[in-house]
Structure 1
Amino acid sequence: MKSALRHSWALLVGIALIMLGNGLQTSLLGLRASIEGFSTGATGAIMSAFYVGFLAGSTLTPKIVKDVGHIRVFAAWSSMASAAILLHGLILEPWFWGLMRLVTGFCYAGVYVVAESWLNDRADNRTRGQLLSLYMVVQYVGLSGGQLLLNVGSPAELVLFVLTSVLISLALVPISLTTSAPQPSEEQERLSPRALWKLSPLGVMACAGAGLSTGALLGMGAVFGEEVGLSVAEISIFMAMLIAGAAILQFPIGRLSDRFARRAVIVLTSALSVALALVAWVMMGQSAALTLGLIFLVGGFSMPVYALGMAHANDHLRPGQRVAASSTLVLVFGLGATAGPVGVAALMDAMGPGGFYVGVAVIQAAIGLFALYRTTQREGVGAELQKPYRPVVGGRPFWRRRP
């Protein structure tokens, strides 16, 4: 694990900073949209535009990484994302925000493809589950911390847009000063969603479903808070608890999936997500402590499904397919997440704020039922046969290189 961390620390620090900015801007945009009088439907469409760009970024980035390398792509996409959030604060029109969210989604998808293929190359048999879980924990901690930064300034002013841009820009520093990025390989295979579906239907379904529910939770959580009358400070805590649940429960859930059949763990987490979301719906309007505790658990059991889906898909792949699979699963996640905010916004328009929880419950129920169905179609991979990512020798930071 120490070797894997030595070759991945710069990436993890960069991801942490980018996710701080992402967590801040996601809630910031939802709040500012409400302040500016955007309709719930328009806000849902703006949030979904992020995932439309996500689709394009996940499709185009692998070819660019192959041509210019991981570090340059990370730097270029981060710079574009930094500029895009500033422009949100300058032009307050729904159509323009949708366009900028599309650009941001393109950039973030590229960053995720770079990060996941990087970690694929750096992991070995002993570190795969731990390194992947650590990557997800870093993401969730960054997202959670970003929610708390809402209290630094007023959503009605420019300062929070500037702060988001600064955080994303700072992510370039550790990445630019490392030589540990893996070298692009000419031997990597392409995997379309259809091809990956044939290899691992549940892996694809879990990632798509995770996109739907995560997109809905992160994209519409602040809007839900606004509709039930939470203050800006309370919304920031609500969103932080949502993501903190995922950050804290991600690692034990990941370790559980390494010890037992992943399909069983997916069924368990989905079932718990459904039950908790329905309880949260029924208990809406009760104490603040209960609301925060339930959203902590909803996030804790629903959001790790993406990592479980990635791990399950990887169990059925050859080594040469894994980098391409990272790109395809990011694409699949984006396809699901494109519909998440729009679908949940429609439910909230029809049912009121409770549609937020009902939508998550329906999505998680579909994942769990499909996982149960797959157990009748193919014998699962035993825990002892669940395959790791392949190891590749890495480099050193520039200040430790020998001439």
Structure 2
Amino acid sequence: MRADARSSPSTLSAAWSLWALLLGVGLLMLGNGLQGSLLGVRAAEEAFGNTVTGLVMSAYFVGFLAGSTLAPRQLRQVGHVRVFAALASITSVAILVHVLFIDPWVWAAMRLVTGFAYAGLYVVTESWLNGHAGNRLRGRLLAFYMVISYLGMGGGQLLLNAADPGGVTLFLLVSILMSLALVPILLSYTPQPDTGTPEAMSLRRLYRLAPLGTLGCLLTGIANGSVFGMGAVFATGSGLAVEQVAAFMGAFILGGALLQWPLGKLSDRTDRRLVIVAVAALATALSLAGLALDRSNVLALTLLGVLLGGTTLTLYSLLLACANDVLTPAQTVAASSSLVLALGVGAILGPLTTGLLMDAVGPAGFLWDLALIHAALVAFGGYCLLRRPAADAEEHGHYVAVPAGTAPLGATWVEEAASEPAQLELGLAEAGEATPPER
């Protein structure tokens, strides 16, 4: 057995070292899943009207764009733990303001604030994970993160039945979940990535370094925005009852959760771009096949939801890992911000493009939109595969779990690998056995 393989920990050990972060994310997504459905139902009960409700809910994405650009500056100044705690606290307060002031203008302002906070939380979490994982485990660790996210969102939908949306109980429950997300982070030692010497990373520069990851995040943002913004509209237009619509959307999330891990593991063992192209091609084929499906058949439509969710909703983590494969630790924070920005822009465009197609051709426009988006990703991914040679799977890198304070030492090991291989091997073995210092 190779020495570097022995010293490289498993995905579970890497995830366990970040258990507090992942648990916090799970609680935040549980609250976010409940919050989205709760506000939609409550807005209908308060007779806001469809147009006003749509504007209120879209304010989230306006804040999302702002948060993705401003979070890196705060990370550089105060670090990951403090930014995570501050933004989670903001979301906890914002949901309570909704129930204090039943007014669409106030709600729109709070949705903007919530979007700002969640974009920052995504930047914190994803830069934290990417700074902690080497290329060999990055796909699986990000897949683990996405599984937790989707399960949290799905669980949040189920919590809508816990109390009457017309009361205050569910609003309080969301606030409690947001506040509890802080506890594991603040009361445990969680290694943070080094942000001492961050490097600027504009979208243009990131595209030059990682074209498929950057443009792919924009395209998958469009697809995800279409799914979460117009998926229920498609299901309703196809003749499904309310509970069947919920089952269809739940099937999408379930499919995304089930396939995250195997696809992430596969991408760590081969050319990640090839996996992305194959998954996008399958999503294209499934979308086109859905056009010929009898959409009055609830079982068949739900199965289509599982398969489309397993392809559409797994692409973001694959593209995120693909982009970070070519970045240095100093670039990950700013790059995470740019990738979240691309995702947010796509999420805004998604419902708009789907709505236009559905107005033109009916509910089938939803499937046409997904087919066109994924076909574009297949075409660009194929171009990238032809233009740039594949990296050897053995050069994906090796993940080493080290406390935040020793991150520069890990970077030094990598830089000296070519000239001092024996010393590198010894250093990696020692790091793998190290335990975090007590606080």
The TM-score with structure 2 as length reference comes to 0.82
Determine the structure 2 residue equivalent to 1:87: 97
1:291 aligns with 2:325: no
Partner secondary structure for residue 283 of structure 1: coil
Change (3 A) 1:371 1:125: closer
Q: Deviation digits for residues 299-335 of structure 1, max 9, x if unmatched?
A: 1101111111111112222332223212221121112
Change (3 A) 1:342 1:137: same
Q: Deviation digits for residues 78-123 of structure 1, max 9, x if unmatched?
A: 1211222333345455544433222111111111111112222322
Match of 2:209 among 167, 177, 199: 199
The TM-score with structure 1 as length reference comes to 0.89
Change (3 A) 1:172 1:296: same
Match of 1:174 among 155, 162, 184: 184
Match of 1:99 among 81, 89, 109: 109
1:382 aligns with 2:419: no
Report if the CA contact (8 A) 1:121-1:390 is conserved: no
Partner secondary structure for residue 180 of structure 1: coil
Q: CA deviation at 1:64?
A: 0.7
Match of 2:223 among 213, 227, 252: 213
Report if the CA contact (8 A) 2:287-2:367 is conserved: yes
Relative contact order, CA 8 A, sep 6+: which one is greater? 1
Determine the structure 1 residue equivalent to 2:150: 140
Change (3 A) 1:120 1:81: same
Report if the CA contact (8 A) 2:75-2:195 is conserved: no
Report if the CA contact (8 A) 1:322-1:389 is conserved: no
Q: CA deviation at 1:39?
A: 5.8
Q: Deviation digits for residues 269-316 of structure 1, max 9, x if unmatched?
A: 111112222333443532221121111111110111111111111222
Change (3 A) 1:22 1:223: farther
Q: CA deviation at 1:242?
A: 0.9
Partner secondary structure for residue 285 of structure 1: coil
- The 5 A counterparts of 1:95-134 are 95-124=105-134, 127-134=137-144
1:253 aligns with 2:246: no
Q: Deviation digits for residues 214-256 of structure 1, max 9, x if unmatched?
A: 1221233334444445444333322221111111101111112
Change (3 A) 1:338 1:51: same
- The 5 A counterparts of 1:306-321 are 306-321=316-331
- Give the distance between the partners of 2:367 and 2:102, measured in 1 at CA: 29
Partner secondary structure for residue 127 of structure 1: helix
Amino acid across the alignment from 2:269:
R
Moved more, 102-111 or 216-225: 216-225
Moved more, 87-96 or 71-80: 87-96
Moved more, 74-83 or 244-253: 74-83
Determine the structure 1 residue equivalent to 2:27: 17
Partner secondary structure for residue 376 of structure 1: helix
Match of 2:85 among 58, 67, 75: 75
Determine the structure 1 residue equivalent to 2:276: 266
User: Which runs of 5 or more residues in structure 2 are unaligned?
Assistant: 1-9, 406-435
Partner secondary structure for residue 317 of structure 1: coil
User: Which runs of 5 or more residues in structure 1 are unaligned?
Assistant: none
Change (3 A) 1:37 1:313: same
Determine the structure 2 residue equivalent to 1:242: 252
Aligned residues: 399
Point out the structure with max Rg over C-alpha.
2
- Give the distance between the partners of 2:194 and 2:108, measured in 1 at CA: 33
Q: Deviation digits for residues 32-62 of structure 1, max 9, x if unmatched?
A: 4455556655555444332221111111111
Partner secondary structure for residue 143 of structure 1: helix
Report if the CA contact (8 A) 2:76-2:198 is conserved: no
Percent identity of equivalent pairs: 49
1:334 aligns with 2:344: yes
Superposed CA RMSD in Å reads 2.6
Determine the structure 1 residue equivalent to 2:60: 50
Match of 2:376 among 366, 369, 383: 366
Report if the CA contact (8 A) 1:280-1:295 is conserved: no
Q: CA deviation at 1:346?
A: 3.4
